[in-house]
Amino acid sequence: MVFRKLPGVSASGMGLRLSQKFVFLLFLSGLVTLCFGALFFLPDSVRIKRIFLFKTETQPVTVGSGSENDAREHLKRPKEGVSSAKGETSTKLKPLSRRPSVSHEGTEERLAGGKAQEDLTLARSRTESATSSDQGAQSDTFTYKKFKRCLLKAPLGRDNGKPSDPQTNERREKVKEMMKFAWDNYKRYAWGKNELRPLTRNGHIGNMFGGLRGASIIDSLDTLYVMGLMDEYNEAKEWVQTSLDLNSNGEASLFEVNIRYVGGLLSAYYLTGEELFKNKVVELGEKLLPAFNTPTGIPRGVINLGSGTSWSWGWASAGSSILAEFGTLHLEFVHLTQLSNNPIYTEKVMNIRKLLNKIEKPHGLYPNFLSPVSGNWVQHHVSIGGLGDSFYEYLIKSYLMSDKTDEDAKTTYYNALEAIEANLVQKSPGGLTYMAEWRGGILDHKMGHLACFSGGMIGIGADDGAPEKRQHYLDLAAEITHTCHESYTRSATKLGPEAFRFDSGAEATATRLSDRYYILRPEVIESYMYMWRLTHDPKYREWGWEAVEALEQHCRVDSGFSGIRDVYTTTVSHDNMQQSFFLSETLKYLYLLFSDDDLLPLEDWVFNTEAHPLPIIRTNCLQNEATQDKTL
Ligand code: DMJ
């Protein structure tokens, strides 16, 4: 090493200075090391620790850990969505934990999340993601006129889907009357609240929507419009204009706000072209973004819409996020990108997709709990019912909604379906096909009402499967739908229980008291509707009509519709809750079942998991339209 003499400094003097400097630097670096080391002794909650050590906050995959009770509790939780309903039936909500095991403060997460996502090489820029840019890009700003020109058919059909057969038309009118009855009572007793309590004749707010109000109004907008209940639709629209306040400051379920509010407003916009809905939905979409500020970009389940702070459900083991929650954002977020011309929404959901593609799947299956910090699975519980369900639904629907360009969604869906068939699909001794649940390799021979949506899902995906599998998928869809129908016919009320079993001699019946309730859920009817459209087998309309009669007989009360506590007794006990999804889904699917196929044709529309129709995005057409507009 060569020391160059500094001017005016002797060699020995320079040596002295250098050794002083050396000692000083040694002291300084010792101090820094000490301070850094001390971080490890600080409690996890200290902000500075989380900023410096976020990368080491990975959690080991704890297969099979966590309490079984926890798992049972939230098996019902995410899909039920409406907390009080659960509270009043047999399922009680556990309170949200304010002190989860990992950090949840918006600001730190924002800093940490951005950096860690780079580390995981999860691309966030448009150019890095071909699919993302395909889905998100518009050569020009979206306009409603362009969008309408790119539809293949008129959304409401030739004659609003009116069937020519008089009996079917009568049945359709009956469903419309049920909608009007449900709406009128909501309006009379619970206007502006989230849901109607039809026995006590008051409103329910609940804690799922972060202080947002009017869930039944937002969930009903498109149903009212499609049914031609225009006075009611106008009342709903006016409420959105004057009273939908998005500046709430409460704790919301990202999933529920997305499927009901974002989905409901998007559909209302696409069906009507009212800019009001578009403005509202874009404003709301922005408020959901902070939930993604985690080290992996996997959003947490709960978000404070005012502060942007987010955290995991207290009942989700080890601060995990839920597959059916973070996996049920794709459709709405791609549309938010389209309407706002901001790629960020599509980037967020593509990031989730990439992480899921990357991590190892046990037997090709997707467990229900994932750590948003480490990106590892937490517990190996797999279910096509609660906690998992709509993740699978959104894969095939993402493919369909992309005008069949999202090949990645397609591959992921069919691979997942293969794993489901290999590991979960079972045949009962009585010959009923069902989807069991999987707990670390052990089958639980139980199928939830929620899992009954899968008949419709497998049906709509049948045609795009491998040619040799198409008929098989359609048959599988029909078998699952048949099993779900059996779960209805085997009860005294002809309505299906929350969960039914295929063990200890049971064949599609609930064996536990706590599984006997019915909360006006749509999934079985949803599958009837899809299977009707796909096969035109009249039995699906008959089965739908059986459900209408049962709803009328057992769930209709003086002031609305109510869930019931036990489907196996005709001396019914009502749960006093008219769920918003009854207006959004159950009645809409029934109405479509008795309508011609040209009402919301499947060539142009996919339904989000709350039955809000979203249009297929024809990027090429929209871009050509943009070019044409410019040259006109
Ligand atoms: C609805 O909120 C949605 O369908 C959701 O995906 C799960 N279930 C309820 C209705 O049962």
What is the per-residue pLDDT across 298-339, written as a single tens digit (0 to 9) for each?
999 999 999 999 999 999 988 999 999 999 999 999 999 999
Q: Residue 507 to residues 93, 354, 492, 500, 567: CA-CA distances in angstroms?
A: 29, 39, 15, 8, 15
Quickly tell me which residue has 């206007």 as its tokens.
191
| Residue 362 burial class via C-beta count within 10 angstroms: exposed 0-12, middle 13-18, buried 19 and up | middle
Q: Is 610 in the pocket of ligand 1 (CB under 6 A)?
A: yes
18, pLDDT greater than 50: no
Mean pLDDT within 273-302: 98
Nearest residue by C-alpha to atom 10 in ligand 1: 521
Q: Residue 538 to residues 161, 284, 458, 543, 614: CA-CA distances in angstroms?
A: 17, 42, 19, 9, 27
Residue 82: which pLDDT band, with cuts at 50, 70 and 90?
very low
| Residue 584 burial class via C-beta count within 10 angstroms: exposed 0-12, middle 13-18, buried 19 and up | buried
The β-bridge partners of 304 are 251
Q: Is 77 in the pocket of ligand 1 (CB under 6 A)?
A: no
Q: Is 449 in the pocket of ligand 1 (CB under 6 A)?
A: no
Ligand 1 atom with minimal separation from the 519 CA: 11
- Residue 285 CA to residue 86 CA, distance in Å, equals 27
Q: Is 79 in the pocket of ligand 1 (CB under 6 A)?
A: yes
| pLDDT number for residue 31 | 59
Ligand 1 atom with minimal separation from the 449 CA: 11
Q: Ligand 1 centre and the CA of 522: distance in Å?
A: 8
Q: Ligand 1 centre and the CA of 315: distance in Å?
A: 19
SS3 (DSSP) at 229:
coil
- Within 13 Å of residue 2, how many CA atoms lie on the same side as its CB? 1
Nearest residue by C-alpha to atom 6 in ligand 1: 609
Q: Ligand 1 centre and the CA of 570: distance in Å?
A: 25
Residue 122, both tokens: 């999860």
Q: Is 91 in the pocket of ligand 1 (CB under 6 A)?
A: no
| pLDDT number for residue 582 | 99
Average pLDDT, the chain: 83
The gap from C-alpha 551 to its chain's centroid, in whole angstroms, comes to 26
Q: Is 258 in the pocket of ligand 1 (CB under 6 A)?
A: no
Q: Ligand 1 centre and the CA of 584: distance in Å?
A: 10
- Residue 40 CA to residue 174 CA, distance in Å, equals 66
Q: Ligand 1 centre and the CA of 521: distance in Å?
A: 7
Residue 500, both tokens: 């039914």
From first CA to last CA, the distance across the chain in angstroms is: 74
| pLDDT number for residue 626 | 62
Nearest residue by C-alpha to atom 1 in ligand 1: 610
Mean pLDDT within 510-529: 98
Q: Which candidate, 566, 558, 479, 477, places its Cα nearest to that of 518?
A: 566
Of 77, 91, 259, 394, best ligand 1 pocket probe by most atoms within 8 Å of the beta carbon: 259
Q: Is 253 in the pocket of ligand 1 (CB under 6 A)?
A: no
| pLDDT number for residue 29 | 57
State yes or no: is 498 an active-site residue: yes
Q: Is 393 in the pocket of ligand 1 (CB under 6 A)?
A: no
Mean pLDDT within 356-373: 98
Sort residue 160 into left (φ over 0), alpha (ψ -120 to 50) or beta: left
Q: Ligand 1 centre and the CA of 304: distance in Å?
A: 22
Nearest residue by C-alpha to atom 7 in ligand 1: 79
Percent of the chain residues topping a pLDDT of 90: 75
For the stretch 435-466, pLDDT in tens is 999 999 999 999 999 999 999 999 999 999 99
Strand order of the β-sheet with 381-382 is 381-382, 437-439, 442-444
Angle at alpha carbon of residue 625, lines to 623 and 627, rounded to 5°: 70
Nearest residue by C-alpha to atom 5 in ligand 1: 79
Q: Ligand 1 centre and the CA of 8: distance in Å?
A: 82
Q: Please, which residues have CB within 8 angstroms of residue 585's CB and are 6 or more apart in sequence?
A: 522, 526, 610, 611
Ligand 1 atom with minimal separation from the 523 CA: 11
Strands 381-382, 425-427: parallel, antiparallel or unpaired by DSSP?
unpaired
| pLDDT number for residue 28 | 61
Q: Is 81 in the pocket of ligand 1 (CB under 6 A)?
A: yes
Catalytic residue among 347, 498, 507, 526: 498
| pLDDT number for residue 632 | 41
Q: Which candidate, 588, 425, 586, places its Cα nearest to that of 521?
A: 586
Mean pLDDT within 411-419: 98
Q: Ligand 1 centre and the CA of 338: distance in Å?
A: 25
Helix H or strand E encompassing 311 = strand 310-311
